[in-house]
Amino acid sequence: MTRTYESTPSRKVAFLGLGVMGFPMAGHLARAGHRVRVYNRTAAKASEWVKTYGGASAPTPAAAAEGAELVFACVGNDDDLRAVTTGSDGAFALMQKGAVFVDHTTASASVARTLAGEATRLGFAFVDAPVSGGNVGAVNGALTVMCGGDKAAFETARPTAMAFAKAMTLLGPSGCGQLAKMVNQIAIAGLVQGLSEAIAFGQKAGLDMKAVLEVIGKGAAQSWQMDNRGPTMIEGKFDFGFAVDWMRKDLGIALEEARHNGARLPVTALVDQFYADLQAAGGNRYDTSSLIKRLG
């Protein structure tokens, strides 16, 4: 897919974390004309990014963030996020007054609120901005971004972030982006399990499931999961991006939040255990549609 970019002023930006999501996201920023300095825990990955996209790399998050107007991050979890933001080598140590830190990590709402408070104390802003769309969305610059934080900071960051997004929405104060991502993952978990059971049932009944999905995909059962993962589930292919390990991490965050707010998530808790079964069977790196393997 060839991505075209809206004309926006060139910004001095940093990007922390060059995993399967961060690497192409930072690349879109560079291709959109922004001056990008990257940091990655494994320096070789940062060097690879520079060879691919230009820009520059830095030895620490602080060095990457120094002088940047916008600092983006996409790392693994709460602990990884704290590691790149706090301490003498963390980005917060050298971020300039008035800058904006935009966090695309899927993390807890509590860590987002804590870091937003610390950023405010230091004179800059923090926006929690987890994404949906997976690696394909990152590569194609078509992510959906759910944000929490200050409206002015969001408006400052949005034009630049649209280099890798198709939609970016402010949903409320700090933590609301992370809470929205939990809603997203709760919905997906139930959908994938339902689709797995439907396909497995149809196969046991001797139906041509490709033909069945084509028919029911034109009706009320249609979903992105059915359109995109249904055919690959039938073929037994499970190497399409978002891994079981990552989904379990995300569902764990949602279940922990539910314990605090009183929400009841019986289906989510059950599907989380089904994913644990896949991990125990060695399916850690299968994509999330591999739930169907439990039903074979």
Q: What is the pLDDT of residues 85-110, one digit of tens each?
A: 999 999 999 999 999 999 999 999 99
Place of tokens 């393997």: 293
Task: Output the pLDDT for position 8.
Answer: 86
Q: Containing H/E element for 143?
A: strand 143-147
Task: Output the pLDDT for position 226.
Answer: 97
Write down the CATH number for the domain with range 12-173: 3.40.50.720
Q: What is the pLDDT of residues 174-226, one digit of tens each?
A: 999 999 999 999 999 999 999 999 999 999 999 999 999 999 999 999 999 99
Annotated active-site residue 181? The verdict is yes
Task: Output the pLDDT for position 5.
Answer: 87
Residue 263's pLDDT band, with cuts at 50, 70 and 90, is very high
Report, in this order, helix, strand and coil percent for the chain, each rounded to 5: 55, 15, 35
Residue 3's pLDDT band, with cuts at 50, 70 and 90, is confident
Q: What is the pLDDT of residues 286-296, one digit of tens each?
A: 999 999 999 98
With a pLDDT cut of 70, the percent of the chain lying above it is: 99
Is CATH 1.10.760.10 correct for 179-295?
no
pTM equals: 0.94
Question: CA 178, 192, 235: angle at the middle one, nearest 5?
Answer: 130
Residue in 45, 97, 151, 181 annotated catalytic: 181
Q: Where in the chain is the domain with CATH 1.10.1040.10?
A: 179-295
Q: Where in the chain is the domain with CATH 3.40.50.720?
A: 12-173
Question: CA 249, 251, 257: angle at the middle one, nearest 5?
Answer: 105
